[in-house]
């Protein structure tokens, strides 16, 4: 499961950041990827959302008394959601609130429990996908 693209619903003319992103280390930088082979598949002027990834292949599951291997976002998205659900449950058990909207928490401290993936790519479905980069760097397409 990998995100990190621009959303058409957040149309901004600059890369201004919400307050919860203010403590990030410097402005977003871009890396040119070459010809516009992805033109029309994303909004270049939209706001980018955090790139959160989880293993996307070879999940071992038990189904009808048999172990199988599954792949894709159908495996990774529920895994990441389950981790957030466990964090919510733990917070509630201590009398605290749920995490709610995750972006402010991810930028403030939640990232410390994650690993920055700096190599590899999110390719799939016969595409080259986006290459992994250091946090704060986005690919320019």
pLDDT digits (tens, 9 = 90+) for 56-111: 788 888 999 999 998 877 788 888 889 999 999 999 999 999 988 887 888 778 77
Closest to 85 in 3D by CA, of 102, 71, 69: 102
pTM, two decimal places:
0.59
Q: Report the C-alpha gap between 114 and 2 in whole angstroms.
A: 13
**Token pair recorded at residue 141:** 């397409």
Decide: 91 and 99 in contact? Cβ < 8 Å. yes
**The CATH number of the domain covering residues in 6-140:** 3.40.50.200
pLDDT digits (tens, 9 = 90+) for 35-52: 565 566 555 555 555 567
Give the domain ranges of the chain. Answer: 6-140
Mean pLDDT value of segment 117-133: 67
């Amino acid at each position: 499961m990998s995100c990190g693209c621009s959303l058409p619903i957040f149309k901004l003319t600059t890369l201004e950041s919400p307050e919860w992103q203010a403590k990030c280390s410097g402005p977003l930088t871009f890396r040119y990827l070459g010809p516009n082979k992805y033109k029309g598949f994303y909004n270049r002027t939209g706001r980018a959302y955090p790139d959160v990834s989880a293993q996307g292949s070879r999940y071992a599951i038990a189904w009808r008394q048999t172990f199988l291997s599954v792949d894709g976002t159908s495996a990774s998205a529920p895994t990441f959601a389950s981790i957030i659900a466990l964090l919510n449950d733990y917070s509630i058990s201590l009398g605290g609130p749920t995490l709610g909207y995750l972006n402010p928490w991810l930028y403030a401290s939640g990232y410390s429990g994650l690993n920055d993936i700096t190599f590899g790519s999110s390719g799939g479905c016969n595409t080259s996908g986006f290459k992994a980069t250091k946090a704060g760097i986005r690919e320019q397409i």
